[in-house]
Amino acid sequence: MRIAYLVNHYPAVSHSFIRREILSLERQGIEVLRISLRGWDDAQPSEEDRLESARTNYVLKAGLIPLLVGFLRIGVAAPLRLVKALRLVWTMGRRAERPFPVHFIYLLEACQILHWLRAAKSEHLHAHFGTNSAEVAMLVHELGGPPWSFTAHGPEEFDKAKFIGLPEKIMRARFVVAISSFGRSQLYRQIGHQHWDKIQVVHCGLEPAFFADEPAPSPANRRLICVGRLAEQKGQLLLIEAARRLRDNGTQFELVLAGDGEMREEIETLIKTYDLTPHVRITGWIGSEQVREEIAASRALVLPSFAEGLPVVIMEAMALRRPVITTYVAGIPELVEPGHHGWLVPAGDVLALAGAMQACLDAPPGEIEAMGAAAHARVKARHDVDVEADKLAKLFRR
């Protein structure tokens, strides 16, 4: 079977789960055409992403002229379909968060993608995220393209469901994937009960290499690591507040923030204001192998998220036999059981967060290793990428 994947930005450091999913589908005999709107000029820190970049077709790389040519070609070959697609552009653009001309550009992108799909004889188009990539996939189908589907991750799709036309996308897609039961519940809210069977749960997964490594002993240091984009929804500012409380209590610790993002300057300013530079460091963007090394060198992962889908980095830390400190948000409690795999705290509660960090730092090595072993078993049972990709393959073939 031949399918195509459409992503807004691919490959990306924060989207390694998409790469894993594609490669697993290919191991199962499905040919995957990679299509991305942008990302061709990114500096890729890992060899895997460099290879993926070379295999990806980039819609916007050649500029506007090829898109206009594709639009005119569709207009001559299938004028009625183009009129239907223009009506859909009008429907999606009327109350959207982005201005109407942006939605017309989505139509131009769809014309180019349709040409690639026909040349590759793709039988299905799957988009990741329910935002603009899903809209482009929907327009491709309206122009005469193959059946389509998309994976919704959250929280962005759920925060602005009406402004991105999420109900319309769900109604028009062949099926929709949620990455957790919580995500499925949020998609249920957008459509009538008679359409609920369209929503399927397929977890993000980890490749076998994550589970094959020999157990790394829990380090004797007092290091905690937070991995993720430096953004408001990840809660790093609250984490710095908690770190200040630990320091003021005389606790010895090191906190590593692995990642980068729009809030880096604000976070760095707060670190300096609280005189936490001896305790906290920011790595910037690092490759997947470096992320694994940093996690393995830490006692636990801490992720004080305010809003999430189900963070892949939690799965990675658990697979590496490290307990996690995180929040009762979205799909996280479906994977992490407090007291067994780490600590769960209410989102936004700095005292509870500081308390959980203190408890982790004070826990004896045997307790940390037992939690890590339980976490490893839990994520292996629920997030094996080949098992999850097989669920997707069956949906595509159906």
Q: How confident is the model at residue 138 (pLDDT cuts 50, 70, 90)?
A: very high
**What was the pLDDT predicted at 97?**
81
> In the predicted model, what is the mean pLDDT of residues 301-314?
96
Contact 207, 20 (CB under 8 A): yes
pLDDT tens string 72-91: 999 999 999 999 999 999 99
Instruction: Give Cα 36 distance to the centre of its chain.
Output: 15
**What was the pLDDT predicted at 209?**
78
343, β-bridge pairs = 325
Q: How confident is the model at residue 288 (pLDDT cuts 50, 70, 90)?
A: confident
Alpha helices in 16-131 (DSSP H): 16-27, 47-55, 64-77, 79-93, 100-120
> In the predicted model, what is the mean pLDDT of residues 302-331?
96
Helix (H, G, I), strand (E, B) or coil at 343: strand
**What was the pLDDT predicted at 14?**
80
- The verdict on whether omega for the bond into residue 217 sits within 30 degrees of 0, i.e. cis, is no
Domain(s) of CATH 3.40.50.2000: residues in the chain = 2-205+384-397, 208-382
pLDDT tens string 323-343: 999 999 999 999 999 999 999
**To the nearest whole number, what is the mean pLDDT of the chain?**
95
CA 94, 96, 101, 103 torsion-angle sign = negative
CA distance 222 to 108: 53
With the CA atoms of 356, 299, 316 and 207 taken in that order, what torsion angle do they form, in degrees rounded to the nearest 10? -150
Under the phi-then-psi rule, with left for phi > 0, alpha for psi from -120 to 50, and beta for the rest, what region is 136? alpha
CA distance 346 to 328: 6
Helix (H, G, I), strand (E, B) or coil at 12: coil
> In the predicted model, what is the mean pLDDT of residues 262-291?
94
Least confidently predicted of 104-113, 287-296, 325-334: 287-296
- C-alpha closest to that of 163 among 190, 199, 123, 127: 190
**What was the pLDDT predicted at 308?**
93
Query: Encoding tokens for residue 334?
Result: 């479906």
**What was the pLDDT predicted at 218?**
73
CA distance 305 to 273: 22
CATH code assigned to 2-205+384-397 = 3.40.50.2000
Whether the per-residue pLDDT at 241 is higher than 90: the answer is yes
R_g of the chain computed on alpha carbons = 22
CA distance 193 to 364: 50
Whether the per-residue pLDDT at 217 is higher than 80: the answer is no
pLDDT tens string 14-61: 888 999 999 999 999 999 999 999 999 988 777 888 999 999 999 999
What topology does CATH give the domain 208-382? Rossmann fold (3.40.50)
Whether the per-residue pLDDT at 254 is higher than 90: the answer is yes
pTM of the model: 0.93
pLDDT tens string 181-196: 999 999 999 999 999 9
Provide the edge-to-edge strand list for the sheet that holds 223-227.
280-284, 254-258, 223-227, 300-303, 324-327, 342-345
Helix (H, G, I), strand (E, B) or coil at 200: strand
CA distance 315 to 310: 9
Query: Encoding tokens for residue 310?
Result: 């189900």
DSSP 274: T
Whether the per-residue pLDDT at 213 is higher than 90: the answer is no
pLDDT tens string 160-181: 999 999 999 999 999 999 999 9
Share of the chain above pLDDT 90, in %: 88
